[in-house]
Amino acid sequence: MSISSRTPEGTPHRCPVCRQETAIESSTHGDACCPDCGTLLWWFRDKAPNHEVLLSTSFESLEIDSLAMAELVMQLEEHFDIDVPPGDAEHILTVEDAIRYIRQYRADT
CA distances from 88 to 6, 11, 45, 64, 98 (A): 39, 34, 22, 17, 10
Q: Which entry of 31, 65, 97, 108 is annotated as an active-site residue?
A: 65
**C-alpha–C-alpha distance, residues 23 and 50, integer Å:** 30
65 is an active site residue: yes
Active site residues: 65
